[in-house]
Chains A and B, each alone.
Chain A
Amino acid sequence: MNKKILDVGGEGHLSDLMIGQKAVVLALHNDNKALRRRLLDMGITKGVIVQVKKKAPMGDPVDIFLRGYELCIRETETKNIDIRVVG
């Protein structure tokens, strides 16, 4: 399965990013209210800059850098985060 590669300015989901790419968070969807709250608490809010730093050997979960620390989340979550690539 070929994933589309996003260029700077391109919009998509956090799960589309490759290692090293930076993006700004546009929206956070999640049906699970408690989980959504947790992601907000961890700093995934509108306008925050995130960068994919590491991926687990099987591509999931991913380790993203934001607000000065590294957060690991699964693809099921990153798929629900809308972003625009900034670098």
Chain B
Amino acid sequence: MKIALVGNQNSGKTTLFNLLTGSNQKIGNWPGVTIERKIGIIRNTKYELVDLPGIYSLSPYTVEEEISRKYVFEEKPDLIINIIDSTAIERSLYLTTQLLELDTRVIIALNMADIVEKKGIFIDVNKLSRLLNTTVIKISALKNTGIEHLISHIRRNEILDNVHNRIYAALIEDAIEAVKITMNHSRFVAIKMLEEDVMFTKYQNVTVKAKIKEIQERYDSDVEEVIANQRYNYIEELKENVVITKTVKKSTTDKLDKIFLNKWLAIPIFAIIMTTIYMLAVGVVGNFTVDFVDTNIGLFGQWLGVRLEAINTSTWLISLIVDGIVAGVGAVLNFIPQLMILFLLIAVLEVTGYMARIAFFLDKIFRKIGLSGKSLIPFIVGSGCSVPGIMACRTIEDEEERKMTIFLTPFIPCSAKLPIIIVFSSFFFEKNQGFIAASLYFLAIIVIVISALILKKILFKGKTSAYISELPEYKLPSAKYIFRDVFDKTWSFMKRAGSIILLCSIIVWFMLSFSWTLEYGVDVEQSILAGIGNALAWIFYPIIGEYSWAATVSAIQGLVAKEQVISSMAIIAGFGEDVTTGTLIFGSSIFAFFTPLSAYTFMMFNLFSAPCFGAIGAMRRELGSTKQMLKAIGFQTGLALIFSAFVFGVGTLIGVIA
């Protein structure tokens, strides 16, 4: 049996999905977290459950809503679980009345039953079920109540059959019947035809056209509006029968919004929150763990080398393990503590409901540069990883704003770029490490603004668009979910270290140890990698002021994964002579040329140039064509080259004068 989860945005579908299937799909407290369908099996059953993006109506408005309608309409699930946010029952039932017009059976899960009663609102479930002719079950996905009840109803097949209630005025109901009979279609299709929905207009016949005219003349407005009005009239009546409101007290949300949406405080508070997040992730634990892990990985490498020698391991194998694998993989594992802090803080930001506020109060500023307030959500999600960030762009209504946001999301330093920032800033800007890291994030914002203005001029011609969104209530984050979210993300980073970074480390080691004639143990300057790097080093000369093959090949490896830049540098450094002790990378003669200025501009290039292959793939999928994707990465890399070379030039000039 195929079951579809359908409901409004932010009504708790994914929370219920996770509960029913035992998975840990991403949840958040803003409208539109789920942007594609997810499939799972309900625990202890054979039922397939499909989690769909939230919709308000079966007339989709954005890309991800289209996915839901298509699924419900074309793939015909055997059962729809219509999840309703009890706190917004009126608006939720609007979708319900449409689902009930389909020929699919519907069971209603009345979610957030616990919250609504605390607010002094009581819903008579039995009466609602009787009036709608549908099974209604009260649940709380967050508190895990009523879920067993819901499952047992599904298992025992105790679901009322879908009887189509007559909910419109006689004239409309007659028109629906007439269309149904002449065209042999369901009630749902008949209504859509009368509404002149673009998906169905091509099937219109004389009867449909005549009926549309009749309704328009009677009500002096289009059928779409007449039907929407009457649907809501029916719901208002229904609500009067089943909902009793006792007390409505001033909510905590309103009190909090007095601060977070305050005219003067909103933006400063936002700036403080974001700065704190990056200061904590990069600064506080940064130095400590880097030094600690760095030293210990160095010691571990030495220890392992001695052990391997003791059991007569050949020199090249020791070198591969110690100089290649331990140095390369170890270099990225260094950053797990910082990444966990970053993941934790972003998760908290996502589930509290603050994200929707940021989108709300920044909308006006963002609109000035051709973006939507909703662009902020991909940016913040993108500070964890660009791939989900790029996908989160689907909730943006306007095509151009959406594409522009896809172009810009990779500029936000993702968690894999964190190692680059930490390594460089902890060595070159020891005292101001947190400040330098934060400055890069603000620089990212500047890059985004400038790019948006350029893109608006050359690629996308600005036009007016809409911003329609809900402002959800604030919620306390669920510790269990956050813990799993941080764990999942950290685990996937570790898996990447164990697979792709490991593989690359071996390749890098090989290319460093062998010459073009496949001779082992040559001087590093004669190696294959140095050869490739030397051929391309001119590209990076304007940025770092040095023809460095090592920096060149490392930066290029950022395409595989951004943390690979550091991994590669760590391996290469091991092949050079130590000029100072203590630091693995910058203590090596190969990277000794870096100055604070070139360190900063090299970071800039790595942060703003084309993202990793994973993100490039996501951009291709979401932009819909390879051409657009090439435009995007060309734009990003070009901008990164010019901007970092400019800063290097200006910095050098100031250095000369001063």
Give A contacts to B, CB under 8 Å: 28, 32, 34-43, 45-48, 53-54, 56-61, 63, 67-74, 76-77
CB distance from A53 to the nearest CB of B (A): 8
Which parts of B435-477 form the interface with A (CB within 8 Å)?
464, 466-471
For this complex, 5 residue pairs linking A to B, each with C-beta atoms less than 8 Å apart, are A39-B468, A41-B94, A60-B364, A72-B467, A74-B467
Whether a CB of chain A sits under 8 angstroms from the CB of B132 is no
Q: Is B261 an interface residue (CB 8 A)?
A: yes
B203 at the binding interface (Cβ < 8 Å): no
Q: Which residues of B contact A32 (CB under 8 A)?
A: 466
A38 nearest CB neighbor, chain B only: B61
Is there an interface contact between A35 and B224, defined as CB atoms closer than 8 Å?
Answer: no
Q: Which of B56, B61, B228, B229 has the most CB of A within 10 A?
A: B228
Contact, CB under 8 Å: A54 / B61: no
| Contacts between chains A and B (CB distance < 8 A), count | 108
Contact of B87 with A by CB under 8 A:
yes
Partner among B89, B361, B464 whose Cβ is within 8 Å of the Cβ of A76: B464
Chain B: residues with CB nearer than 8 A to chain A?
56-57, 59, 61, 87-91, 94, 224-225, 228-229, 232, 254, 257, 261-264, 266-267, 360-361, 363-365, 373, 464, 466-471
Q: In the bound complex, do residue B88 and residue A45 qualify as a contact, i.e. CB atoms below 8 Å apart?
A: no
User: How many angstroms between the C-alpha atoms of A76 and B468 in the bound complex?
Assistant: 11
Task: Give the complex CA separation of A74 and B366 in angstroms.
Answer: 13
Task: Check if B470 sits within 8 Å of A45, measured CB to CB.
Answer: no
Once bound together, how far apart are the Cα atoms of A54 and B56, in whole Å?
A: 22
> Are the CB atoms of B364 and A38 closer together than 8 Å?
no
In the bound complex, what is the Cα–Cα distance between A59 and B468 (angstroms)? 16
Instruction: Please name the residue on chain A nearest to B362 by beta carbon.
Output: A56
The answer to whether B360 touches A72 (Cβ under 8 A) is: yes
- Chain B residues near A40 (CB, 8 Å)? 224-225, 228-229
Question: How distant is the Cα of A84 from the Cα of B523 in the complex, in angstroms?
Answer: 84
Does A63 lie within 8 Å of B471, measured CB to CB? yes
Question: In the docked arrangement, what's the CA distance between A57 and B363, Å?
Answer: 10
Min Cβ gap A68→B in Å is: 5
CB-nearest residue of chain A to B55: A41
The answer to whether B90 and A35 have CB atoms under 8 Å apart is no
- In whole angstroms, how far apart are the Cα atoms of A53 and B473 in the complex? 13
Q: Are A57 and B467 in contact (CB under 8 A)?
A: no
Q: How distant is A47 from chain B, measured CB to nearest CB, in Å?
A: 8
Question: B56 to A74, Cβ gap below 8 A?
Answer: no
A46, B364: Cα distance in complex, Å = 28
A34 to B468, alpha carbons, bound, how many Å?
12
Q: Told that A38-B57, A59-B364, A61-B467 touch, could you supply 10 new A-B pairs with CB distance under 8 A?
A: A43-B90, A57-B263, A58-B364, A61-B363, A63-B360, A67-B91, A68-B90, A71-B469, A72-B360, A74-B467
Q: Which of B87, B261, B263, B466 has the most CB of A within 10 A?
A: B466
Is A57 a contact partner of B228 (Cβ separation < 8 A)? Answer: no
Taking a contact as CB atoms under 8 Å apart, the answer to whether A73 and B468 are in contact is yes
Beta-carbon nearest neighbor of A53 in chain B? B254
Beyond A56-B363, A67-B88, whether A72 also contacts B468 by CB under 8 A is: yes
A53 to B253, CA, bound (A): 12
Residues on B with C-beta less than 8 A from A60 are 363-364
Shortest Cβ gap from A25 to chain B (Å): 10
Chain A CB within 10 A, most for which of B61, B364, B468: B468
State in angstroms the CA–CA spacing of A74 and B469 once bound together: 10
Q: Are A43 and B87 in contact (CB under 8 A)?
A: no
Residues of A within 8 A of B361 (CB): 56-58
Closest 6 interchain pairs by CB?
A: A69-B88, A41-B57, A40-B228, A67-B90, A70-B471, A56-B361
Q: Which of A36, A47, A54, A72 is close to B470, meaning CB atoms less than 8 Å apart?
A: A72
What's the minimum C-beta distance from B338 to chain A, rounded to whole angstroms? 32
Across the interface, which residues of A come within 8 angstroms of B469, CB to CB?
71-72
Which residues of chain A are within 8 angstroms of B373 by Cβ–Cβ distance?
61
Contact indicator A68/B466 (Cβ below 8 Å)? no
Distance between Cα atoms of A76 and B364 in the complex (Å): 12
Instruction: Compute how far the CA of A28 lies from the CA of B232 in the bound complex, rounded to whole angstroms.
Output: 15
Chain A residues near B464 (CB, 8 Å)?
A: 76
Do residues A56 and B91 form an inter-chain contact, with CB atoms below 8 A? no
Output the nearest chain A residue to B31 by Cβ-Cβ distance: A72
Residue of A whose beta carbon sits closest to that of B253: A70
A61 to B374, CA, bound (A): 12
Chain B residue at minimum C-beta to C-beta distance from A73: B468
- Contact (Cβ within 8 A) A77 B466: yes
| Inter-subunit contact B467/A68 (CB<8 Å) | no
Given A37-B59, A54-B261, also A69-B360 (CB < 8 A): no
B470 to A38, Cβ gap below 8 A? no
Which residue of chain B has its CB nearest to the CB of A70?
B471
- The complex places the Cα of A41 from the Cα of B266 at a distance, in Å, of 30
Q: How far is B266's CA from A55's CA once the two chains are assembled, in angstroms?
A: 11
User: How many whole Å from B229's CB to the nearest CB in chain A?
Assistant: 5
Do B261 and A46 touch (CB < 8 A)?
no
With CB as the reference atom, state the residue of chain B lying closest to A41.
Answer: B57
Are B228 and A41 in contact (CB-based, < 8 A)? yes
- A46-B229 contact in complex given A57-B264, A57-B266, A69-B87, C-beta closer than 8 Å: yes
A63 vs B87: C-alpha distance in the bound complex, in angstroms?
A: 17
Contacts of A72 in B (CB 8 A): 360, 467-471
Give the docked Cα–Cα distance between A60 and B466 (Å): 12
Q: Is B360 within 8 A of A35, CB to CB? A: no
CB < 8 Å: which of A35, A36, A41, A68 contacts B88? A68
Q: Which residues of A contact B466 (CB under 8 A)?
A: 32, 35, 38, 73-74, 76-77
Which residue on chain B has the smallest CB distance to residue A30? B466
Contacts of A36 in B (CB 8 A): 224
Q: How far is the CB of A87 from chain B (nearest CB, A)?
A: 15
CA A73 – CA B224 in complex, angstroms? Answer: 21
Residues B470 and A69 in contact, CB atoms below 8 Å apart: yes
Residue picked from B224, B360, B363, most chain A C-beta under 10 Å = B360
A38 x B232 contact (CB < 8 A): no
Q: Name the B residues within 8 Å of A56 (CB-CB).
A: 261, 266, 360-361, 363-364
Q: Is the CB of A34 within 8 A of B61?
A: yes
CA distance A74 to B262 in the complex (A): 18
Q: Are B232 and A45 in contact (CB under 8 A)?
A: yes
Complex alpha-carbon distance, A23 and B303, angstroms:
76
Name the contact of A45 in the complex, choosing from B229, B261, B263 (C-beta under 8 A).
B229
Query: By the criterion CB–CB under 8 Å, are B261 and A42 in contact?
Result: no
Q: Knowing A34-B61, A61-B373 touch, does A42 contact B90 (C-beta < 8 A)?
A: no
